[in-house]
Structure 1
Amino acid sequence: MHKHLGVKIVGILFLAVFFLTGCKNNNSKITVVGSSAMQLLAEQAGNDYRLAHPSSNIVVQGGGSGTGLSQVQAGAVEIGTSDVFAETQKGINAKKLKNHLIAVVGIVPIVNKNVGIKNLSTEQLKKIFTGKITNWKQVGGKDEPITVINRSKGSGTRTSFEDIVLKGQKPIRSQEQDSNGAVKKIVNSTPGTISYISFPYANDKHIQKLDIDHVKPTNKNITTNKWKLWSYEHMYTKGKPTKKVAAFINYMLGKKVQKDLIPEIGYLSINDMKVMRDSNNKVTKIG
């Protein structure tokens, strides 16, 4: 009888420890969803954070800025990442969200290497993406039809590109892709194609990055807005973040990420910017 009682007590204690451990693991989970442009940074930083904080559980997913904002607003995730300001998005109540500016990312037009173009003016780029220029020979390239690859609706990168380049004009109907990786693969393999991707994904010898108005797509040129195609990388929380979420965001804003990781993988620290941009795309000097 005593033996059975002892086994029963041990079993109950085991279940209690299992339950408490499970709860602890669940409570330590932080889900980060949204911008595919920020996904690379969030994943790497999340991995590093887990190594330094073994009890933490950072889960990072893409889906686009629109998804990140709607998910965090609904309370479905702890952090929604976005390349655009929440107040610019329909259906998002920015007053209920808290904005944490983490980094800056450049956006660069890319073309198939065989089109014969290395530079476009802003006006030429706009005319290509609005369907007014349809052959590469019109801009000094091959006699070859232009195939435009756009990003999906809900993409913050697309919103930033269209706000800065198209300035309210309607884009041509074209094939759409969800991610930087998919865009890069298609441009590499398909003759006559043009699209745009984030700087951290653009280090590929198989694609041709374009200068705009003879300005090189570099992070240094972004700091002064000489290269105008860039956006902030935001982390949004639903109101004031919890203690565990605040700790992770503080880590993102700390030296290890801002000084080491961000430049290493192609982003730009917000601390290096000499200009700032508001939600209306107005750029002003800092200081």
Structure 2
Amino acid sequence: MKKLKFGTILAAFLLTATACGTDNTDTNGGNGDDSTGESNGGDSAEEASGSILVAGSSAMEPLVAAASEEFMNENMEASISVQAGGSGQGLSSIASGQVQIGNSDVFAEEKEDIPAEDLVDHRIAVVGMGPAAHPEVGVEDLSTEDMISIFTGEITNWSELGGADQEIVLVNRPDSSGTRDTFVKYGLEDNEPASGITEDSSNTVRQIISETEGAIGYLAFSYYDESGAVLPLSVDGVEQTDENVMSGDFPIWAYMHSYTNGEPEGLTKAFIDYLMSDFVQDELIPEMGYIPETGMQVERNAAGEESAK
């Protein structure tokens, strides 16, 4: 397997995000994918075929979209369409049978009106998240207290924190977003953000922050790159790094779940198996800014309780 470069993958994803969201699949339900043949991480002698739809977490979309492209390159008769829309949409869509895989960066048990007992959780990876600002705000580190004050509207100008004399522009995700849920719970200590710009896609949030003076929002680590278009802010002196998430020093992170409605079969199972393959887990996940769960020194349950792993 040819090793992929993160910058190439992310650039391609950002340019083709809309195309990845094109629905060209059968949406007959969680296990109702139109498929023949089985595949286990691309190693089966018989190619997988058919079509499935994957939707949900935008924090997961770059990884799942890249993995689907690699999978389809190896299985020419398979069609996997990947859409975002937020974790809430992913969970409601898999619960109602509109998609074959629902991606979420929150546990199904955390969302109201989701029959979590009917869904099967395939935990793919871990994603770190944190505050991201326009690179010219003049601030590189926030205390948790100041971060809460910014997002709740108490601090309205960067000069109040020793930064540029620039009005703070808040960029939020909607209530259905798992990224928002994670950031509010583990970053803002359950304080709800003030109103501001609200965007459905993390990709759009990234673009707005990069183009808007004084802007701040929150992004998964996978949306940072070497271009410096957005500035990841440290929190309480702790940088947004994989190592700090794995050690438990940086608290804003979530599991990346791919849910199926019952045990997966056919192409759905083949793609889930591929997401757990050595290539995706050992190469693609770290290259694209995500964290293999095997590297975590801490773990959490659906109630948010954390313990040593």
Tell me the TM-score normalised to structure 2 length. Answer: 0.82
* Percent of residue pairs bearing the same amino acid type: 39
The separation in 1 between residues aligned to 2:35 and 2:286, in whole angstroms, is 34
- Residue 205 of structure 2 aligns with an amino acid whose one-letter code is V
Which deviates more from structure 2 when the two are superposed, residues 218-227 or residues 132-141? 132-141
- The one of 250, 267, 280 aligned to 2:303: 280
- The one of 135, 158, 180 aligned to 2:202: 180
The separation in 2 between residues aligned to 1:28 and 1:97, in whole angstroms, is 22
The separation in 1 between residues aligned to 2:190 and 2:296, in whole angstroms, is 26
- The one of 64, 80, 94 aligned to 2:86: 64
Aligned to 1:80: 102
Tell me the TM-score normalised to structure 1 length. Answer: 0.88
The separation in 2 between residues aligned to 1:102 and 1:46, in whole angstroms, is 14
- The one of 240, 251, 273 aligned to 1:217: 240
Aligned 1:36-75 pairs, distance under 5 A: 36-75=58-97
Larger-Rg structure: 1
Aligned to 2:289: 266
In the alignment, is residue 144 of structure 1 matched against residue 178 of structure 2? no
State the Cα distance separating 1:104 from its structure 2 match: 0.7
Cα 1:79–1:178 change in 2 (3 A) is same
Aligned to 2:274: 251
Instruction: Give a deviation string over 1:239-273, Cα, whole Å, max 9, x none.
Output: 11114322211111110100011111111111111
Aligned to 1:6: none
Aligned to 2:53: 31
Aligned to 1:171: 193
The separation in 2 between residues aligned to 1:236 and 1:143, in whole angstroms, is 45
State the Cα distance separating 1:54 from its structure 2 match: 2.1
State the Cα distance separating 1:190 from its structure 2 match: 1.2
The separation in 1 between residues aligned to 2:210 and 2:295, in whole angstroms, is 32
* Secondary structure in structure 1 of the residue aligned to 2:191: coil
State the Cα distance separating 1:56 from its structure 2 match: 1.8
The separation in 2 between residues aligned to 1:208 and 1:247, in whole angstroms, is 38
The separation in 2 between residues aligned to 1:166 and 1:68, in whole angstroms, is 24
**Cα RMSD, aligned residues only:** 1.6
Which deviates more from structure 2 when the two are superposed, residues 258-267 or residues 238-247? 238-247
* Secondary structure in structure 2 of the residue aligned to 1:115: coil
The separation in 2 between residues aligned to 1:284 and 1:258, in whole angstroms, is 23
Segments of structure 1 that go 5 or more residues without pairing to the other structure are 1-22
State the Cα distance separating 1:24 from its structure 2 match: 5.8
The separation in 1 between residues aligned to 2:35 and 2:259, in whole angstroms, is 24
